[in-house]
Amino acid sequence: MTRIDARFASLRQDGRKAFVAYIMAGDPDVETSFELMRGLPGAGVDVIELGLPFTDPMADGPTIQTAGQRALAGGMTLDRTLDMVRRFRAEDNETPIVLMGYYNPIYSRGVDRFLAQATEAGIDGLIVVDLPPEEDDELCLPAQKAGMNFIRLATPTTDDRRLPRVLQNTSGFVYYVSITGITGAAAAEAGDVGPEVSRIKAQTDLPVIVGFGIRTPESAAAIAGVADGCVVGSAIVAALAEGRPVPEVLDFVASLAGGAHSA
């Protein structure tokens, strides 16, 4: 059982919804990013989704693209991202960490070497948005063999013929993308999301967590109310980009977590 599996089992036992927070590793700099990361569990975050900066983040909107550019300009690398996770693990050995990014940096490192380094650092799961299920032999199956969850995205365009293939080797949780398009592009609507979550849950026992388009405690509560929890990313990244101090950003995160946990 991974930390992700254990966390969702605990949430289920307590009858609580999950709140997942996304931040970009190294944005706006390594120390600020680490200070934010280490404060997330205390702000009510159940799972940390840590973005790996990449030069061509095709699934991300301007807010997260710019965050990645700031991180890369500041010298953030895959090695420094893993070092950040090791520092976090020295203080917190319970909070699950999902590394989210693209396949190119992993491929360049070599899958076996990357998985050995990532598991040693304390990564619990992967979201790699540009590897479809047809490429499971590339990373998904080796990751699961190494003891990691591989979390797949389902979208509004994932129809009933495609869905079983998407779910086939998914573990940890299913990430449902509430809108078509890039991150931060539109607001999620619970009335649209609810039936889609039910459709997915009819085919899997995994938790279904909804992301994209959630910016307020009210929307976090509404979306978590029709799913097993929600993810907020762009709104948190934007708050940091506005120059707010980390304690103020963590207060905002706590308000979002409170919304999700109230569902």
pLDDT in tens, 189-226: 778 899 999 999 999 999 999 998 899 999 999 999 99
Structural domain harbouring 238: 3-261
Pairing status of strand 229-232 against strand 208-211: parallel
How many independent structural domains does the chain possess? 1
CATH of the domain at 198: 3.20.20.70
Which sequence positions are flagged as catalytic? Answer: 49, 60
pLDDT at 75 over 70: yes
Contacts of residue 77, defined as CB under 8 A and 6 or more positions apart, other chains included, come to: none
pLDDT at 180: 58
Mean pLDDT, the chain, integer: 95
pLDDT at 160: 94
User: For the chain, where are the alpha helices, taking DSSP H only?
Assistant: 3-14, 30-39, 62-73, 78-91, 103-109, 111-121, 140-145, 163-167, 190-201, 217-224, 234-241, 246-261
Task: Work out the burial of residue 138: count CB atoms within 10 Å of its CB; fewer than 13 is exposed, 13-18 middle, 19 or more buried.
Answer: middle
pLDDT in tens, 155-196: 999 999 999 999 999 999 999 998 755 454 456 677 889 999
pLDDT in tens, 40-50: 999 999 999 99
pTM of the predicted model, to two decimals?
Answer: 0.95
